[in-house]
A and B are shown apart, each in its own frame.
Chain A
């Protein structure tokens, strides 16, 4: 079973920041938090991952709470092309497989 809890759906206005929350209260010390997204009819796309520090790349920022029990993915300026299902995944090490939940369906509206 997935180790994360995410809202089923969220809306965001185009150009505004999209903040997607994820709860992972049972995360252990060596497990990373990963975010992927899946645009309709495509394979999932890697966005970002982190252990305990906040991370930023060209796509998004990842904010992890100090107790590591929750995190937030931030898309700073959402566009219509960011409409997708976003998956938050907890995974240990480089060999563990990815266990997907149902994710959050983000709808970016004009």
Chain B
């Protein structure tokens, strides 16, 4: 059973550029959350998608946007990249309805902005 798959694994972008990160949730999961993890810090919640809509959002600017597709996969888009956006971006999937199951995280995309 495949877990959460994220692509690409590593990415280098220049300040001001735009980036798209992709996430395929664990089979059977319908909810996708995105987190940003700076070096030495815990993951910070960006937003969560369920039924193709943004359900919750953390304290991140509008430069961060997302999308969920009918097959539950998701994209994270970041516009006008800043040096401070360099981080590990984690995708987590979960099941909203029914009994609770722990979030399953992917291994992340390491974004470096130069």
Q: Which residue of A lies closest to B44 (CB)?
A: A100
- Complex alpha-carbon distance, A95 and B64, angstroms: 21
Tell me which residues across on chain A come within 8 A of B74, comparing CB atoms: none
Give CA–CA (A102, B35) in the complex, Å: 14
Q: Is A44 an interface residue (CB 8 A)?
A: yes
Q: How far is the CA of A2 from the CA of B103 in the complex (A)?
A: 17
On chain A, the residues within 8 Å of B25 by CB distance are none
Which residues from 2 to 59 on chain B have a C-beta closer than 8 Å to any C-beta of chain A? Answer: 4, 33, 35, 41-45, 48, 55-56, 58
How many chain-B residues does the 8 Å CB contact rule pick out?
25
* Residue on A nearest B42 in the bound complex, by CB: A100
A32 to B100, CA, bound (A): 11
A21 within 8 A of B: no
Q: Please tell me if B105 contacts chain A, counting CB pairs below 8 Å.
A: yes
Given A34-B102, A43-B90, A44-B90, residue A98 in contact with residue B108 (CB < 8 A): no
- Does B66 make an interface contact (CB < 8 A)? no
Given contacts A34-B102, A94-B96, A97-B58, contact A42 B107 (CB under 8 A): yes
Give min CB distance, A100 to chain B, whole Å. Answer: 3
Please indicate the chain A residues that have their CB under 8 angstroms from the CB of B92 in the complex. Answer: 43-44, 98
Digitize B86-104: 1 where CB-to-A-CB distance is under 8 Å, 0 elsewhere: 0000101011100010111
Of all chain B residues, which has the CB nearest A94? Answer: B100
**Which residue from A32, A46, A99, A101 sits with its C-beta under 8 Å from B103?**
A46
In the assembled complex, 5 residue pairs joining A and B whose CB atoms fall closer than 8 Å, in A order, are A43-B107, A43-B108, A95-B96, A97-B45, A102-B41
**Chain A contacts to B: CB under 8 angstroms:** 2, 32, 34, 36, 41-46, 49, 85, 87, 94-103
Q: Which residues of B contact A (CB under 8 A)?
A: 4, 33, 35, 41-45, 48, 55-56, 58, 90, 92, 94-96, 100, 102-108
